């Protein structure tokens, strides 16, 4: 079995588990993440990028609101084109979003572009080594590889506990995460 076929099967199985969660479980998990916060301190002015949840992803908004209250500057990604780095645009919880080219809500093109210090990364599945499976377009892998040439960026996967799998068949272009936060546990992969 090829790595891509294997990833597709693993992605489908993890997404089925995620989709089986009730709305109450999703809300409780997002609130649990927000209560716990990040497993490290952030300085006021730190740029934290989140994401607009799609396909039953865990909602990072409660955590992002908490980080903003602690002085973080928030941003959301904008898809520019396949094979290009995501752009990150300034966002506050009161800002209206518009639909981007993939139908994902994102800030207006008029919003200031920022380079995040911390990226909250959505995922379909993750393993105990910090490898993730996304949706197959490679946006986050490409973006992390590209932006880490400019500055150090901490990549924090955000997921439900049911999305953990035994092993991701990682390829050379796959970028491992620094942390994964679930409603049940903090995974630290930096060592």
| pLDDT computed for residue 185 by the predictor | 96
Examine residue 13 and state whether it is found in any structural domain, yes or no. yes
In terms of Cα–Cα distance, which of 171, 167, 191 is closest to 179?
191
Count of other CB atoms within 10 angstroms of residue 3? 12
Examine residue 59 and state whether it is found in any structural domain, yes or no. yes
| pLDDT computed for residue 53 by the predictor | 93
| pLDDT computed for residue 120 by the predictor | 97
Flag residues of the chain having pLDDT under 70.
Answer: 1-5, 82-83
DSSP letter (8 states) at residue 82: T
Examine residue 29 and state whether it is found in any structural domain, yes or no. yes
Query: Distance (Å, rounded) from C-alpha 22 to C-alpha 24?
Result: 5
Q: Taking a C-beta distance cutoff of 8 angstroms, is the pair 80, 86 a contact?
A: yes
Examine residue 177 and state whether it is found in any structural domain, yes or no. yes
Q: Taking a C-beta distance cutoff of 8 angstroms, is the pair 169, 7 a contact?
A: yes
Could you tell me the two tokens for 183? 């409603």
What are residue 22's DSSP bridge partners?
A: none
Examine residue 191 and state whether it is found in any structural domain, yes or no. no
**90 contacts: CB under 8 Å, gap ≥ 6:** 73, 74, 75, 107, 111, 112, 113, 114
- State the residue range of the domain holding 145: 3-94+101-185
Q: How many domains does the chain have?
A: 1
Examine residue 149 and state whether it is found in any structural domain, yes or no. yes
In terms of Cα–Cα distance, which of 158, 160, 157, 151 is closest to 174?
157
| pLDDT computed for residue 138 by the predictor | 78
Find how far residue 10's CA is from the centre of its chain.
Answer: 18
Q: What is the pLDDT of residues 50-103, one digit of tens each?
A: 999 998 999 999 999 999 999 999 999 998 876 678 999 999 988 888 888 888
Examine residue 190 and state whether it is found in any structural domain, yes or no. no
> pTM score > 0.85 for this model?
yes
| pLDDT computed for residue 175 by the predictor | 86
Query: Distance (Å, rounded) from C-alpha 19 to C-alpha 23?
Result: 10
Query: Distance (Å, rounded) from C-alpha 60 to C-alpha 37?
Result: 11
Sign of the four-CA dihedral 32, 37, 38, 40 = negative
Query: Distance (Å, rounded) from C-alpha 121 to C-alpha 77?
Result: 10
Residue 62 belongs to domain with CATH number: 3.40.50.10420
Examine residue 175 and state whether it is found in any structural domain, yes or no. yes
């Amino acid at each position: 079995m090829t790595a891509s076929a294997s990833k597709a099967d693993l992605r489908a199985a993890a997404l089925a588990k995620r989709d089986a969660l009730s709305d109450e479980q999703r809300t409780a998990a997002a609130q649990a993440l927000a209560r716990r916060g990040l497993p490290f301190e952030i300085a006021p002015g730190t740029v934290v990028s989140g994401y607009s949840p799609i396909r039953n992803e865990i909602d990072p908004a409660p955590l992002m609101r908490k980080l903003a209250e602690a002085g973080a500057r928030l941003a959301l990604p904008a898809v520019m084109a396949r094979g290009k780095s995501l752009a990150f645009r300034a966002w506050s919880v009161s800002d209206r979003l518009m639909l981007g080219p993939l139908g994902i809500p994102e800030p207006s093109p008029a919003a200031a572009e920022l380079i995040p210090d911390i990226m909250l990364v959505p995922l379909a599945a993750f393993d105990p080594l910090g490898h993730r499976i996304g949706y197959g377009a490679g946006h986050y892998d490409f973006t992390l590889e590209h932006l880490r040439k400019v500055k150090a960026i901490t990549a924090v996967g955000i997921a439900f506990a049911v999305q953990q799998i035994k092993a991701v068949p990682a390829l050379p272009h796959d970028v491992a995460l620094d942390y994964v936060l679930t409603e049940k546990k903090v995974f630290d992969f930096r060592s």
